[in-house]
Amino acid sequence: MAEKKMVEAITSMDEDFAKWYTDIVKKAELIEYTSVKGCMVIRPYGYAIWENIQKILDGMFKATGHENVCMPMFIPESLLQKEKDHVEGFAPEVAWVTYGGNEKLEDRLCVRPTSETLFCEHYANIVHSWRDLPKLYNQWVSVVRWEKTTRPFLRSREFLWQEGHTIHATADEAIEETERMLNVYKDFCETYLAMPVITGKKTDSDKFAGAEATYAIEALMHDGKALQAGTSHYFGDGFAKAFEIMYTNKENKQQYPHQTSWGVTTRLIGAIIMTHGDDNGLVLPPAVAPIQAVIIPIAQHKAGVLEKAQELKATLEKDYRVKVDDSENSPGWKFSEYEMKGVPLRIEIGPRDIEQGQCVIVTRHNREKTIVKLESLQAEVAKKLKEVRDGMFQKALENRANKTYACKTMDEITAVLESKGDGFVKAMWCGDEECEDKVKEVTGVGSRCIPDTQEHLDDKCVCCGKPAKCMVMWGKAY
């Protein structure tokens, strides 16, 4: 009987990065395409990654005082029209419901692209006094944006996310919330996803529709393109005025409250793939890996091998997500399969190992093998999982450092990108939108953010030569 074939090869990322990405999402069984263009099935292995992301983030939100709610999926057009800039910003991406059953709707309904207007309507009903503030709300839902070009996880017409929406008595409190949640995202990405990010403020031309200020975390992918991994917005009192939300302050005067919103999406799964993956497949951060350690029995037909593998699993599964693969595929096939699925640790146990009271641990990110005594396995697994996370973070940090270029002129930007490839470009800017547009037109890199950590690279704007106001991080983006 022919053995099941070895895991199919993945296109090399250097040969075709887009094909490499598609191969991984398909062959690692993260998604399946559907008959609805731009919409995907998130398969159990992909969804388990999202569940782990959700669980950790939800705990972080609750630790900062936030509560979960759930708003309707539909927004009446009349409600959406109340905030002019907001509706204009989302108009090209909105999907509309025009019929309910056989009846044409008088007020057509939009399938939520985001829920600011619904939260505003709700806040207008429940916020009356300073005692009602702040409201720190979040929801975990799906949203729909009718994207023209789609790619699994990175840009799809329906995607999963969380959207935080908060309302505060003062501008200072709301700005503090906006910055706090941006730093929650940074902490999550760096600590749990092993993905270094740059925090900063978006330029005015790139801020969220209806916001006074937008802040973002920007990550650099393996191919040198940037990915906006999360955003946090300060709305001021613009939405409150549009939706007539007012409260009575401690001096018994009527005031408009100040609002924020912030969100991350299933795009984070795409970020994990493109930050950490290699030519053998996924490399998953231990914190969100559906399987943290897979136990592979060697010569499992021999007496005692499967029993020992199950015994190791029973020891480890109190603290970790562990699987024993006792299928009839060869050990070589299993090694390739779990490498492709990005499982952080592989534990091999065979008759000789059992005799010697040991096993072999292989770390996915660098394929290093370590012989471990069975009595110290629990402690070694903890140590190795930390090694994996730290090694992944360091590798991503080095990739970013190697692909970050400081430039003083547009000619320098063009030359460095041609010779070294895509990456982050640090360059000074005068603050003029015309210069921002011209940099993109001439060099192909757009503004990603004005980083919180500023460097004085030059006195002059990279484009016009006039006095510079700040350093901007530029790049090509997904």
Q: Which DSSP letter does residue 204 get?
A: G
Task: Single out the residue in 326, 352, 387 at which a domain terminates.
Answer: 387
333: tokens are 């096939």
Q: Let me know whether 453 and 421 are in one domain.
A: yes
Q: What is the Cα–Cα distance from 426 to 24, expressed in whole angstroms?
A: 31
Which residues of the chain are modeled with pLDDT < 50? 1-5
Q: SS3 for 187?
A: helix
pTM exceeding the 0.85 threshold for the entire prediction: yes
Task: Single out the residue in 216, 242, 276 at which a domain terminates.
Answer: 276
Asked if the peptide bond before residue 134 counts as cis, ω within 30 degrees of 0, the response is yes
**Contact in structure between 230 and 190 (CB atoms under 8 Å):** no
Residue 287: inside a domain, yes or no? no
Q: Let me know whether 195 and 303 are in one domain.
A: no
Long-range contacts formed by 129-134: CB under 8 A, 24+ apart? 129/247, 129/248, 130/169, 130/247, 130/248, 130/249, 130/250, 132/247, 133/167, 133/168, 133/169, 133/247, 133/257, 134/166, 134/167, 134/168, 134/169, 134/173, 134/177
Q: What is the Cα–Cα distance from 188 to 460, expressed in whole angstroms?
A: 36
**Could you tell me whether strands 404-406 and 424-429 are parallel, antiparallel, or unpaired per DSSP bridges?**
parallel
Q: What is the Cα–Cα distance from 220 to 203, expressed in whole angstroms?
A: 19
Beta bridge partners of 199: 217
Q: For 285-314, write each residue's pLDDT tens digit.
A: 999 999 999 999 999 999 999 999 999 999
Q: For 18-60, write each residue's pLDDT tens digit.
A: 999 999 999 999 999 999 999 999 999 999 999 999 999 999 9
* Structural domain harbouring 354: 293-387
Q: For 60-108, write each residue's pLDDT tens digit.
A: 999 999 999 999 999 999 998 887 777 787 888 999 999 999 999 999 9
Task: Single out the residue in 247, 276, 305 at which a domain terminates.
Answer: 276
Q: What domain count does the chain have?
A: 3
Residue 7: inside a domain, yes or no? no
